[in-house]
Structure 1
Amino acid sequence: MSLTDWIVLGVTLLTIVIYGVWKSGANTNIDQFLMGNRSLRWYHVGLSVMATQASAITFLSAPGQAYSDGMRFVQFYLGLPLAMIVLCVTFVPIFHKLKVYTAYEFLENRFDLKTRALTSFLFLIQRGLSTGITIYAPSIILSTILNINTVYTTLFIGCLVIFYTVYGGTKAVSYTQLLQMSIIFLGMFFAGAMVVHLLPDNVGFVKAIKLGGKLGRMNVIDWKFDPSNRYNVWSGLIGGFFLQLSYFGTDQSQVGRYLTGSSVGQSRMGLIMNGLLKIPMQFLILLIGVLVFAFYQFNRPPMFFNQYEVKQVKASSYAGQYNKLEDQYTAVFAARKNKADALVRALDGNDKIQINQAQQDLKVADKQAADIRKEAIGIMKKNNAKANEDDTNYVFLNFVTHYLPRGLIGLLVAIIFLASMGSTASALNSLASTSVVDIYKRIINPGATDKNYLYASRLATIFWGLVCIGMALYASKVGNLLEYVNQLGSYVYGTILGVFVVAFYLKRIRGNAVFIAAVITELTICLLGVFGLVAYLWLNAIGCIMVIVIAVGINPLFPEKRLN
């Protein structure tokens, strides 16, 4: 990056941190630190909810996901608007009426302490691991730019977020997210415009989309019902609905965001705003990935986008073999570019026979390039068995750092940092609130002073920050970050959602029944996920339904206690 980019990056990050700390003011009690005095407006709530979900993973990995796999991931969000409606009708008014700090407080009132503790524990494990992934995402950027190991950049990012979250609490998180999302929307718009601007003069936006479609990247909708297929309409509507309902209704990182609303109406409007904007936002981010894919049909992409791994193999005894493959790849790219030009001309002529022939020729050339790339990855694995062979997280980053003008590079890099900081800060705040309110305050040290709980909240934030940094150091081994973080959530969200559904709608089910049902379900879901018996989105629906069915089935074994 140029000096201009570094200045833009530094000023943007510093402004965000100072603004958040300044707006948050002093925190003198736990309600201020964890809930921000429940005083925020609907648009503030909505942007905070979006920023919590839209981490750096969204802006770093989603374009790479579309580059390699097309647009079908957008179906993941089809159940979101339905989930927002259910939340507004059921969850929001109940949580506001009870004035809870966490979603899990309600479960003790409805069932018992062990059910509350179990769901809190499941949340803490899942969110702690997932937050580590969101810390790792921007560390990839720094390591690429500075050419240093991700260990050092991960430590820097993690410590920066821990600082302002510990100092400012949830109000600092919410105010920084408000400014973050404004900058993010602006920056991603400019990024998309720049991709189109850099395309050849005879291509443009429409032809780039057509080109991507001819190579299978505009696979937005898949109506075929297939439980083993990760992304289709049915997995998105059904599995996605259960995942989104559980995430926004039972995950404290999101519940804590809309509980800061000044009223039930403000919280509801914030969630509706999220439901209306999230799918178009995700569609446009994925579309940028398709445009980048079209761009690289005419501009030679790296044979492997993760340059850290490339440098490792080029410094080894396998350098000669790898360099030979790069020469072959360059030659194949030249042929592929000619085929892409031929397809564009055929599209201009609107001749279906020529279009079909040019499409087939381009697919053959594309497969040749993919085969060479596969050989290169094999050489990398020979050199280092632990080498990360999934480089989708680096696709958009490579484009940004090599082709965007000065200043805009710094802004786009800052956006990815901001997204990571926003979602990570929300997660740390929610981990601290759950640890203190559901575990420390309820089980370990009930009856302590408010000052003691405020101190414990800050210590819990630091503790979970360190845990998340530890997970981030492991994250290089997990592949595409966007998919992996959703897979992690699918292991527990269905179970937790099932507990809440029973709590809200099945009034006769008692605590022992739902506790045992949750334990059995979670063990089953883990087995299904580990052995890959179904696509991960379906784990959410299966988990929720299992808890309900088992709880109803065994509830008669636990008769209601009668008072003498």
Structure 2
Amino acid sequence: MDALNKLAWLDWTVLSVTLLTIVLYGAWKTRKNKNVQDYLKGGNDSKWWTIGLSVMATQASAITFLSTPGQAFHDGMGFVQFYFGVPIAMVVICMVFIPLYHRLKVYTAYEFLENRFDLKTRTLTAILFLVQRGLAAGITIFAPAIILSAVLGWNLTLLNIIIGILVIIYTVSGGTKAVSVTQKHQMAVIFTGMFIAFFLIISYLPDGITFSKALDIAGASGKMEVLDFSFSLENRYTVWSGLIGGTFLALSYFGTDQSQVQRYLSGKSIKEMRMGLIFNGLLKVPMQFFILLVGVMVFVFYQFNSSPINFNPKAEEAVSNSAYASKYETLKAEQEKIFNDKETIINKYIETNDAKYTDYIALANEADQDIREEAKQIIKKVAEETNTKIETNDKDYVFIHFILNNLPKGLIGLLLAVILSAAMSSTASELNALGSTTTMDLYKRNVGKEVDDLHMVKASKFFTLAWGVLAILIACVAHLADNLIQLVNIIGSIFYGNVLGIFLLAFFFKFVKGNAVFIGAIITQLIVIALYLLNEYNYINLPYLWLNFVGCAIVIAIAILIQSMLKSDTINKTQE
């Protein structure tokens, strides 16, 4: 049965009504915005729960709900360590960043940098934000579009345009408040859909498999290894990379990225802003743990139900039409035999409750993983020989495959609404922030004349629309990386450490002036990009999470060194 035909009229109804209700409600609720204060800061009347949910919704894009379960399916729960730095970062931001932003009554985080340093430093930092967030906005549209198009057969370009236009409608019309009020409803849809999916997966397991036994089966194959205390750089996700690299990434993202700063700048008071961020800090790790656990339960589900050798339908289709078709079919037959053997072992485990069978389950899953890796190599060969783009890594397709093939009618539409709602919520925040930063940090600051509120609101709407169109264009030309959720974090890590370092210099190193920071920031950005490329081509071993810490440390060190040299030069000239 074709995947597209699995969407019944009930699914289409649930999907359409959910998305249109969110869009129309956001546009209607914020129709009275008349000035810049209302449009860019939501009238400063947001309560803490609105701020908290808005902050979470901004970070929790469609990539989170597509990629994270697939990440857990293949690699287990270890990815949750990536978020260990978030609570620490929330406390620091509440103590240092929020009081300063509130006292200065800034519209963007980068206004503060002109007061502390100079216009060129403010402009450079704003441009660094616009580059990385502009790219990320395109990816947050592209991520669900590429996967839904592959699985459902929908036109990719059309999907990119539809998602982009839906977001543009209410973001341009209502500004910050439209983003915040819609995100509350989007988060409600998201949590409802994920909880229903989780409990359905549990209910689909055989009668003898309790939740604790499901965890045992997952644990036998290494899926429940949450904590890794090793100091090895070979391991991308460890407790230390999460606490150090993750803290610096979270400080940069929540403290200096306008897409997040704008969420809490709309707060009614410092207390509401702080409570909103603490709420996010307390809930973020459990939320990600739960989403990963959904992926682990999908893994357990496929211990009792056959699964494709590769979850990307486009990849399987390409191989079936190639010279490698027979070899691929042989691998499928081997996988089927492993599945049948594993089923026998699991049944004995259910009957006897003997823990020794979990070791046999683990061995069977290792053999299954080897088959999947061989399949990926075949897909890669087909892609190379036909000179076509085929995604070999199927992490992003695992959860959507489960949804379409196992959920009842109506719930498929709801889960698709979850994915698209998440895409819309994060993209709306990004476009809102891109428009605000362009308006306040570049346009207004350099227009050279005083302009009234009406002009600034129109300018903000125009720039938001322009960034929306650009995001759609980026989405239309984007290509998949190893894993979508990693791609967004990699882009952030390349820029965030440098930007955070600039802010920390502003907060804590009062003797450092604008020229030293400006030169240091440019040098640092070039170094960080070089380090990332060296790592990609295996000349060095530096996982991307560490770039946040490294970039921050380098810009601080270089700026202090340059400032010391400039000061020394000034003293020598005075003595002469």
Matches within 5 A, 1:369-518: 369-518=372-521
In structure 1, which of residues 268, 290, 302 is the aligned counterpart of residue 308 of structure 2? 302
In structure 2, which of residues 131, 142, 146 is the aligned counterpart of residue 136 of structure 1? 142
Match of 2:338 in 1: 335
Distance in 2, matches of 1:366 and 1:79, equals 31
Number of aligned positions between the proteins? 560
Match of 2:119 in 1: 113
How many Å apart are 1:554 and its aligned residue? 1.7
How many Å apart are 1:203 and its aligned residue? 2.3
- 2:547 paired with 1:542: no
Closer, same or farther in 2 for the Cα pair 1:376/1:551, shift >3 Å? closer
How many Å apart are 1:406 and its aligned residue? 0.8
Contact 2:319/2:379 (8 A) holds in 1 = no
Match of 2:51 in 1: 45
- 2:205 paired with 1:199: yes
Match of 2:3 in 1: none
Closer, same or farther in 2 for the Cα pair 1:207/1:552, shift >3 Å? same
- 2:559 paired with 1:551: yes
Closer, same or farther in 2 for the Cα pair 1:357/1:57, shift >3 Å? closer
Q: Give the 3-state SS of the residue equivalent to 1:531 in structure 2.
A: helix
- Residue ranges of structure 2 left out of the alignment (5+ in a row): 1-6, 572-576
Q: Which amino acid aligns with 1:425?
A: A
Match of 1:162 in 2: 168
Closer, same or farther in 2 for the Cα pair 1:523/1:384, shift >3 Å? same
Matches within 5 A, 1:36-115: 36-115=42-121
In structure 1, which of residues 505, 522, 525 is the aligned counterpart of residue 525 of structure 2? 522
How many Å apart are 1:154 and its aligned residue? 0.8
Distance in 2, matches of 1:175 and 1:323, equals 54
Match of 1:28 in 2: 34
Contact 1:40/1:261 (8 A) holds in 2 = yes
How many Å apart are 1:552 and its aligned residue? 1.5
Distance in 2, matches of 1:456 and 1:542, equals 37
Contact 1:491/1:529 (8 A) holds in 2 = yes
- Cα RMSD after superposing both structures: 2.0
Q: Which amino acid aligns with 1:205?
A: F
Distance in 2, matches of 1:353 and 1:210, equals 11
Distance in 2, matches of 1:502 and 1:340, equals 59
Distance in 2, matches of 1:347 and 1:514, equals 64
Contact 1:96/1:259 (8 A) holds in 2 = yes
Closer, same or farther in 2 for the Cα pair 1:106/1:362, shift >3 Å? closer
How many Å apart are 1:485 and its aligned residue? 0.1
Closer, same or farther in 2 for the Cα pair 1:165/1:445, shift >3 Å? farther
Closer, same or farther in 2 for the Cα pair 1:365/1:556, shift >3 Å? closer
In structure 2, which of residues 15, 18, 29 is the aligned counterpart of residue 9 of structure 1? 15
Percent identity over the alignment is 49
With 234-243 and 322-331 compared, the bigger mean Cα shift is at 322-331
Distance in 2, matches of 1:438 and 1:247, equals 18
Closer, same or farther in 2 for the Cα pair 1:325/1:369, shift >3 Å? same
In structure 2, which of residues 240, 244, 251 is the aligned counterpart of residue 245 of structure 1? 251
With 527-536 and 146-155 compared, the bigger mean Cα shift is at 146-155
Q: Which amino acid aligns with 1:79?
A: G
With 373-382 and 58-67 compared, the bigger mean Cα shift is at 373-382
Closer, same or farther in 2 for the Cα pair 1:444/1:558, shift >3 Å? farther
Closer, same or farther in 2 for the Cα pair 1:334/1:125, shift >3 Å? same
Closer, same or farther in 2 for the Cα pair 1:431/1:461, shift >3 Å? same
Q: Which amino acid aligns with 2:246?
A: G
How many Å apart are 1:350 and its aligned residue? 4.8
Q: Which amino acid aligns with 1:558?
A: L
Distance in 2, matches of 1:293 and 1:473, equals 32
Q: Which amino acid aligns with 1:540?
A: N
Closer, same or farther in 2 for the Cα pair 1:358/1:262, shift >3 Å? closer
Q: Which amino acid aligns with 1:285?
A: I
- 2:401 paired with 1:368: no
Distance in 1, matches of 2:455 and 2:234, equals 50
Offset from partner CA, 1:316-372 (integer Å, 9 cap, x none): 4x1x63255235414422432422441453376354544434533442344234424
With 66-75 and 256-265 compared, the bigger mean Cα shift is at 66-75
Q: Which amino acid aligns with 2:423?
A: S
How many Å apart are 1:104 and its aligned residue? 0.2
How many Å apart are 1:19 and its aligned residue? 1.3
Contact 1:303/1:373 (8 A) holds in 2 = no
Q: Which amino acid aligns with 1:52?
A: T
Closer, same or farther in 2 for the Cα pair 1:558/1:302, shift >3 Å? same
With 446-455 and 410-419 compared, the bigger mean Cα shift is at 446-455
Distance in 1, matches of 2:261 and 2:267, equals 11
Offset from partner CA, 1:358-405 (integer Å, 9 cap, x none): 533442344234424533443344334422222211110010011000
Distance in 2, matches of 1:133 and 1:187, equals 23
Match of 2:215 in 1: 209
TM-score normalised by L of structure 2: 0.93
Contact 2:151/2:313 (8 A) holds in 1 = no
Closer, same or farther in 2 for the Cα pair 1:12/1:209, shift >3 Å? same
Contact 1:340/1:362 (8 A) holds in 2 = no
How many Å apart are 1:494 and its aligned residue? 0.3
- 2:195 paired with 1:178: no
Offset from partner CA, 1:387-433 (integer Å, 9 cap, x none): 22222111100100110001111001001111110110000000000
Closer, same or farther in 2 for the Cα pair 1:109/1:362, shift >3 Å? closer
Distance in 1, matches of 2:329 and 2:379, equals 8
Contact 1:136/1:154 (8 A) holds in 2 = yes
With 380-389 and 465-474 compared, the bigger mean Cα shift is at 380-389
Closer, same or farther in 2 for the Cα pair 1:389/1:366, shift >3 Å? closer
Distance in 1, matches of 2:351 and 2:282, equals 36
